[in-house]
Amino acid sequence: MAAINVTLPDGSVKQVPQGTTPYEIAEQIGPKLAKAAVAAKVDGKVTDLKRPLDRDVALEIVTVDSPEGLEVLRHSTAHLMAQAIRRLYPGTKLAIGPVVGERFYYDIDCPKSLTVEDFPAIEAEMAKIVKENWEIRREEISKADAEALFREMDEPFKLEILEGLQDGEISLYRQGEFVDLCRGPHVPTTGYIKAFKLLSVAGAYWRGDSSRPMLQRIYGTAFPKQSELEAYLQRLEEAARRDHRRLGPALGLFSFHEESPGFAYWHPKGQILYRTLENFSRELQEARGYQEVATPWISRSQLWEQSGHWEHYRENMFRMEYEGESLAVKPMNCPNHCLMYKEQTRSYRDLPIRFAEYGPLSRYELSGTLHGLMRVRGFHQDDAHLYVREDQIEQEIFGVLELFDVVYSTLGLKYSIKLSTRPEKFLGTVETWDRAEQALMRALEKAGRPYEINPGDGAFYGPKLDIYVTDALERVWQCATVQLDYQLPERFDLTYVDADGSHKRPVMIHRAIFGSLERFIGILVEHFAGAFPTWLAPVQARVIPVGINYFEYAYGVAEKLKRMGIRVEVDSRNEKVGYKIRDAQLQKIPYMLVVGEKEAASGTVAVRHRSRGDLGAQDVEAFGRAVADEIARRALD
RNA sequence: GCCAGUGUAGCUCAAUGGUAGAGCGGCUGCCUUGUAAGCAGUAGGUUGCGGGUUCGAGCCCCGCCGCUGGCUCCA
C-alpha cells in the first residue's frame, strides 16, 4: 500500500500507509492525545477520527475541550437524544439537530407533546445508549439510495433536506438501530458522551417559516466532564438569580401590570437610575455639540408615508384614527428630526447638525415576543440624528465611537463592533456605498477599535455598525447600532448650500449609545446583579441607628450627607441592627452607616460597605467627601 | 401572532373534586436594640377573567387575558 505524508501542527511530517486513520496517528503520538481526541482536522476541515486518510494532508487532532471538539461532542449528543426519543416515542419524525453555542437542539415532530417532565426518561434512555457504546459509523450513499431509505423510514423532513443536496455529498451516520442524514463529523462511539443534560422544550417552525408546521425543539447541552456540566448549570442558575424581572421589582425599580403589557411602571428608585443614566448621556452629548430636542409623539400618517415607515414598518406601529384622520404613535424620531432640519436653509458651515432626543417611542411587538425590559412596546432611546456632509462621515463616526467608549468603559462593559456592508438590494450607487464603508473603516481604525465585517448585512439604505455588549456572565447583547442613511435625506428632500452655492444632499447618521434605556437598564441590573456602582445606586447610603436614642443623630447625619449630594435614607424601623444590615445588604445599598453612642459622641459614622464589609468609624464630613468624590468620578466598585 | 407550559395573599409555595393554608414581607405591641433574620399578636383571597360539567370546582371542560420557554419578526 502506498505511503502518504501527514503534516502535523508542529510542522513535523509523518509517513504512514494510505488508509491510516487520524485516530491511529493520535495513538502513535500518545495515548493521552488519543483518549482526548474526538475528531480530526484534515486540511483545516473537521472530520471523523476514524475516517481513513487517502492522500497527503495537514492533520490536527481535535480534542474534546477545543471549540471544534465541543461542537462535535454536542452534535453527537443531539443524535443520541434523537435516538432515545425515537425509542421512547415511535413515530417521531426528525427535522434538524444542530449545535448553537453551548447548546444543541433537535427539532422533532413527536406524537406526544413533550414537557420537561419527560426529560428524565429521555436522559435515562440516552445514558443507556451511551452504555451500549455503539460505534458511530459514517456511510456515504447516493441521493437515490438516501431518498429510498428515508421514504421507507417515513421521514418527510429528511426527504425535504435531501432535495437540496447533490449526489456525492450525502452521508449517513449510524449508531445501533439509529440512522440519520448528517454531514458529521461525530465522536467515534456513543460511549464518548459523558456529561449531558436536556434543558428546555419549545416550539419552532420547520425551516423557520411561520406558514410551515410547528415542531418541538428540545434543547440540551453536553460537556467533556460532569464537573464542567455542573459549572454550566450553575451559571444558568446564577443568571436566573440575576434575572432583572425578579431583581427589578425586588429592588423597587420597576414593575409590570397586565393592564399594560409591554410597558414598564418605573418606581421612584428605578426612576432615579433612569434619570441618572439619561443625565449622564446629556452631559456627554452637550459637551460634544449635540442639541437636545423634543418632538411630537403622535403624527399624521402622511409623515410616515413620506419616511417610508408606512410601507415598511406599519405593522409595528400603534395606529389610530380621529375625525377621519389617520394617526400613529412614533416608533422612531428620525422623520421628526428631518422636518426640523428642513425648517431652515442649512449652510455647509452649519453641518454637522446633531439632534438628540430622549422622548417616548412605541412599537407594536407581537405578544409572544415581550420579555421584561428587554423587549417592550414602550421605551425611550438616547437617540440622535447627525446631519453631515459626506466628507464629515469619518470624523463624526469617530466621535460616536469615542462616545461609545466613554459610556461603556465607565460602566465596565466590554463590547465588540461589527460592520455590516452593502446588501444585495440597496439604495444609491455602488460608489457612494464604497465611500461610506471606507469612511466607517477609517474611523474604526483611527479609533483603534477592532471589528468584524458582516458582508451584505447592511440595511438597504446604508451600512451600519452594530455594537455588542458582553455582560458579567459573558452573555452578549446587541445594544446599539450606528447607521448611515442615504434614503431619508432623499425622501425629505434635505439639502444644504455648499461653498459653491449649489444645493447638496446631507448624509444622515442614526445612532444611540444605550439603545433603549429600558433594555439597557435590564442589562445593567443583570450585569451588576442589582449592586449598581454608587453613582447609579438609587440609595447610596443608609443610616442605621442602633436604637431610638440615636434617631436624632441619624437624621442629622442624613441631612449633612444629603447636602453633599448623596442619596441617603434613615432606617428608623424598630428593629435590631442585624436585621437592618441584612435588609440593606439585600437592597444592595453601597454604604451602611451604623450610628450609636460612640458615633454620636464623636461625630462619626461606623461605615460598612456592601462588599468590602466593615470599614470602621469615619468622620461624617470626611465620609461624605469621599463618597461625593466616588460619585463624581462615576467609579466602579 | 404560532407551539408548549403556566397563573392560589405583596413574594416563594401548599391544598386525593368536599370549610383555601404556611413561611417570608406588611401592620400593631413588647424588647431598647452594635454589623446578614429578637418575641408575640394581627390584617391580608370572589384561587387571572368569563362560561360550562357536577350535589359540590383552586382542581375537570371551553373561551379570553397575562406570564414563561422558544419560533417568527426586529428601520
* pLDDT tens track for A545-576: 998 899 999 999 999 999 999 999 999 988 99
- Å separating the CA of residue A547 from the C1' of nucleotide B61: 60
The residue out of A189, A204, A235 marking a domain boundary is A235
pLDDT at A59: 86
A28 and A122 belong to one structural domain: no
A267 catalytically annotated:
no
Residues 321-340 of A with CB under 7 A from strand B: 331-332
Q: What does the pLDDT average to over A357-381?
A: 93
Residues 565-604 of A with CB under 7 A from strand B: 573-579, 581-582, 585-586, 592, 594-599
**A588-601: per-residue pLDDT in tens?**
999 999 999 999 99
Query: Is there a contact between A44 and A73 (Cβ–Cβ < 8 Å)?
Result: no
Active site residue: A330, A510, A588, A608, which one?
A: A510
A383 catalytically annotated:
yes
Give the closest nucleotide to A313 (alpha carbon vs C1'): B75
Q: Which residues contact A45 (CB under 8 A, 6 or more apart)?
A: none
Angle at alpha carbon of residue A54, lines to A52 and A57, rounded to 5°: 100
A110 catalytically annotated:
no
A435 and A547 belong to one structural domain: no
Q: What is the CATH number of the domain that holds A12?
A: 3.10.20.30
pLDDT at A164: 84
What is the percent of chain A where pLDDT is above 90? 61
Q: What share of chain A is helix, strand, coil (3-state, %, to 5)?
A: 40, 30, 30
Q: What is the C-alpha to C-alpha distance for residues A432 and A225, in angstroms, rounded to an integer?
A: 53
What is the percent of chain A where pLDDT is above 70? 100
A510 catalytically annotated:
yes
Among A78, A26, A76, which Cα is nearest to A51's?
A: A26
On whether residue A302 sits in a domain, the answer given is: no
DSSP β-ladder status, A57-63 and A3-7: parallel
Q: Is the predicted pLDDT of residue A1 greater than 70, yes or no? A: no
DSSP β-ladder status, A265-266 and A346-347: unpaired
Is nucleic acid strand B under 7 Å from A101's C-beta? no
A25 and A125 belong to one structural domain: no
Q: Is the predicted pLDDT of residue A474 greater than 80, yes or no? A: no
Burial of A363 (C-beta count, 10 Å sphere; 0-12/13-18/19+):
buried
Active site residue: A363, A511, A519, A610, which one?
A: A363
Query: Is there a contact between A564 and A605 (Cβ–Cβ < 8 Å)?
Result: no
Among A319, A479, A349, which Cα is nearest to A408's?
A: A479
Q: What is the C-alpha to C-alpha distance for residues A543 and A405, in angstroms, rounded to an integer?
A: 36
Most confident listed range (A113-122, A378-387, A466-475): A378-387
Give the structural domain span for A553: 541-632
Q: Is the predicted pLDDT of residue A336 greater than 90, yes or no? A: yes
Is nucleic acid strand B under 7 Å from A475's C-beta? no
On whether residue A246 sits in a domain, the answer given is: no
Residues 152-171 of A with CB under 7 A from strand B: none
Give the closest nucleotide to A199 (alpha carbon vs C1'): B69
**A51-72: per-residue pLDDT in tens?**
888 888 888 888 888 888 999 9
Q: What does the pLDDT average to over A79-96?
A: 92
A463 and A442 belong to one structural domain: yes
pLDDT at A117: 82
Among A269, A238, A230, which Cα is nearest to A529's?
A: A238
Q: What does the pLDDT average to over A327-333?
A: 94
On whether residue A219 sits in a domain, the answer given is: yes
A363 catalytically annotated:
yes
Q: Is the predicted pLDDT of residue A161 greater than 70, yes or no? A: yes
Active site residue: A93, A107, A285, A334, which one?
A: A334
On whether residue A184 sits in a domain, the answer given is: yes
Active site residue: A48, A180, A383, A471, which one?
A: A383
Active site residue: A83, A175, A216, A381, which one?
A: A381
A16 and A122 belong to one structural domain: no
A53 and A186 belong to one structural domain: no
Reduce the DSSP state of residue A415 to 3 states and report it: strand
Residues 261-300 of A with CB under 7 A from strand B: 261-262
φ/ψ bin of A247: left (φ > 0), alpha (ψ from -120 to 50), beta (otherwise): alpha
Of the pLDDT bands very low, low, confident and very high (cuts 50, 70, 90), residue A214 is confident
Q: What is the CATH number of the domain that holds A182?
A: 3.30.980.10
- Average pLDDT value for chain A: 91
Angle at alpha carbon of residue A251, lines to A579 and A582, rounded to 5°: 15
- Number of structural domains, chain A? 4
Q: What is the C-alpha to C-alpha distance for residues A440 and A394, in angstroms, rounded to an integer?
A: 6
A286 and A339 belong to one structural domain: yes
A78 and A100 belong to one structural domain: yes
Q: What does the pLDDT average to over A102-131?
A: 90
Q: Is the predicted pLDDT of residue A326 greater than 80, yes or no? A: yes
- Å separating the CA of residue A116 from the C1' of nucleotide B17: 27
What is the ipTM metric for this complex? Answer: 0.93
pLDDT at A568: 96
On whether residue A241 sits in a domain, the answer given is: no
pLDDT at A58: 86
Q: What is the C-alpha to C-alpha distance for residues A109 and A206, in angstroms, rounded to an integer?
A: 10
Q: For A83-232, where are the E strands, in sequence order? A: 93-94, 99-100, 103-109, 137-140, 171-175, 178-181, 195-205, 214-223
Q: What does the pLDDT average to over A90-112?
A: 90
